[in-house]
Copies of this chain bind each other. A is one copy, B any other.
Amino acid sequence: MKIGITNETNDKRVALVPDTMRKNAKNFSFLMEKGAGNQASLNDAAYGDLTKICTREEVLQQSDILLSINPLPDEDLAKANPKAVLISLFQPYNDPEITERLEKHDFRSFSLDMIPRTTLAQSMDVLSSMASIAGYKAVLAAANLLPRYFPMMITAAGSIRPAKVLVLGAGVAGLQAIATAKRLGAMVEAFDVRKAAKEEVQSLGAKFIEVEGAVDKDAGGYAVEQSEEFIKRQQAEVQKRAANSDIIITTAQVRGRKAPTLVPEETVNQMKQGAVIVDLAASSGGNCPLTKDKEIVNHNGVRIIGDSALAEDMPQDASTLFSNNAMNFMKLLLKEEKLFIDMDNEILNSAYITKSIAPN
């Protein structure tokens, strides 16, 4: 079975890394567009003989599985082998027409972001892998911009107090942000509507902030929408702490909806000169109304970094994790060395988004 990968569109990552190919050479063969790994610091030489290196057209036409991180653009869909199985992060909840476009070309398609977030599917959970990187990178981006040290410093020129970091949302990204900020020596407070997050936050050495009255329900790793009254109380709690915070990292997204406002403008106005906000919900409207996606806004001396795609900025390890996750998923498609889509498998069934096309 031939798996094909192409150069990603506006993205430094690559869908498969050499190590994944090496470990799975028995079951799969590979086609790669020339230079697909370059921006992830994996040039063609790094792939050696593990993959056939060819043109984009050849990959599109000769692959049994077309794996990509970002959905292939429409012009590729028109050229690709219609018998191919497409695997990507199609995000059908954000792009309701994607299924129709895929079905038009008869592509059997799996969206990796539709995998259930169960223990069994953990090894295929691309969203968690990328969220974890985003949390790590959010802290680095903030530390790089902050005009102050993160750790406490006791020097001959006096003591420097540690930076104070407030993390809003303690999902995968939030927890990795907490862990990284603690590593760097900051004092960290964190907030989450899920009470279950309390123990995780505390186990990382951070303080858990409680706000009463949340709808405490797991929505597959995403937050659920909260009442207006609760959001007001939550905003007030954030505002109390914001004036003392050097850094706020916000991670609250509700799948398929606009992100909730956790840091209103009046809160930003009370923050210190030089403070930094990293808004990881930027692509879905932001947890701060001043956020602009893919920009750094300076609001009276407070910098707001709007970026939901920080994983792309650490392309090699992001590619390694995507590659491993995707391979763990693709192994499910193999039955006696042939492709077989078992719709009784919960993971395959959940991820299969082109329901009008027969899977086999």
Contacts and interface: CB of A to CB of B under 8 A. Distances in A.
A320 interface: yes
Given A132-B153, A140-B143, A151-B183, A160 B41 contact: no
Contact of A155 (B41, B129, B273): B129
Nearest to A12: B147
A122 interface: yes
A160 B273 contact: no
Interface in A28-82: 40-43, 46
Nearest to A184: B183
A129 B160 CA distance: 12
Contacts of A40: 147, 274
Contact of A273 (B41, B141, B320): B41
Interface in A285-319: 301, 314-318
Contacts of A324: 157-158
B136 A149 contact: yes
A317 B246 CA distance: 13
Nearest to A45: B273
Nearest to A325: B157
B160 A320 contact: yes
Contacts of A12: 147
Contacts of A359: none
B184 A155 contact: no
Interface in A131-159: 132-133, 136, 140-141, 143-144, 146-149, 151, 153, 155-158
A127 to B, nearest CB: 11
A128 interface: yes
A123 interface: yes
Interface centre among A129, A140, A301 (most CB of B within 10 A): A140
Contact of A301 (B41, B153, B325): B41
A220 to B, nearest CB: 16
Given A46-B273, A183-B183, A314 B156 contact: no
A156 B125 contact: yes
Contacts of A132: 153, 155
B316 A155 contact: no
Interface centre among A125, A140, A156, A273 (most CB of B within 10 A): A156
Contacts of A325: 157
A321 B155 contact: yes
Contacts of A301: 41, 43
A185 interface: yes
A349 interface: no
